[in-house]
Amino acid sequence: MLNISIVLYKPLWQQVVALTQSLLGFDGVHHIYWIDNSPTAIQELPISSKKLHYIFNNKNIGYGAAHNIAFRESIYDDVPFHLVINPDIIITPEALSTLVTFIQQNNEVGCLVPKVVYPNGELQYLCKLLPTPLDVFGRRFLPASWMEHRNQRYELRQSGYNRIMNIPYLSGCFMLLRTEAVRKAKLFDERFFMYPEDMDLTRRIHRDYLTLFYPHVTIVHDHAKASYHSMRMLWVHVVNMCKYFNKWGWWQDVERKQFNDIAIKQYIHH
């Protein structure tokens, strides 16, 4: 049994409807939550399903805080698995079934993500080490040539992205989660309005469970990279990353070094 949450903010409804219909094609779905952070509510739901629940927040409470509303429902109803998914994802019911079967059969897995590609088929490098400030701010503000080698290491590109990997930082665009692991990790940290909440949650789950990249299923993500096109979103990104480093440590982060060293040894250094 699986709950699914999709956080919305002024969404492309055609995209949301297509994704939701695909998700409803998987028999194991218990509830799908549309958590709407938009300024105005939709007047009439474009899909009629007893499994679909629409929650309008009347303000933008942030990505993690919105998903936490649905997380609490999964915990309360004792639904064993919960999928966090962006509205700009394309996935088949068969792909979702494969992922749910895998996490059901492997109790040590707390978070599972598939291979993610752009609409043109190009791979998205979404398996990452836990970043240092240089990894985050260097990517945005230094010449790409200066950061190329470091960036390839940060995104574990030498791993080949062709095998199952236990990674400390997985993208929040699609996270198939064991509800008990989320409960134990105490949900998304609502101090983060947007951006590092997936990194923060993955590393907390990674302490007690495997957080796996699973390349045998591929999904499509029409990724907008909003902070690369909007000064406001860039500012949001910077502010929230500063909050992240204030929480975990800017240069001294023992757990970061421990998790990263293991990942580098396993997937980069042969």
What average pLDDT does the segment 53-59 reach? 96
Among 78-87, 136-145, 228-237, top mean pLDDT goes to: 78-87
Q: What's the pTM value of the predicted model, to 2 decimals?
A: 0.93
Structure tokens at 82: 């919960």
Supply the CATH classification number for the domain 2-267.
3.90.550.10
Q: What is the pLDDT of residues 142-180, one digit of tens each?
A: 777 777 888 899 999 999 999 999 999 999 999 999 999
| Sequence spans of domains, the chain | 2-267
pLDDT digits (tens, 9 = 90+) for 11-41: 999 999 999 999 999 999 999 999 999 999 9
pLDDT at res. 262: 95
At 60, phi and psi to the nearest 5?
-85, 100
| Average of per-residue pLDDT values in the chain | 93
**Nearest to 190, CA basis, from 182, 200, 180, 181:** 200
- Name the DSSP class of 226: G
Which of 38, 115, 31 is CA-nearest to residue 81?
Answer: 31
Q: How far apart are CA 11 and CA 64, in angstroms?
A: 17
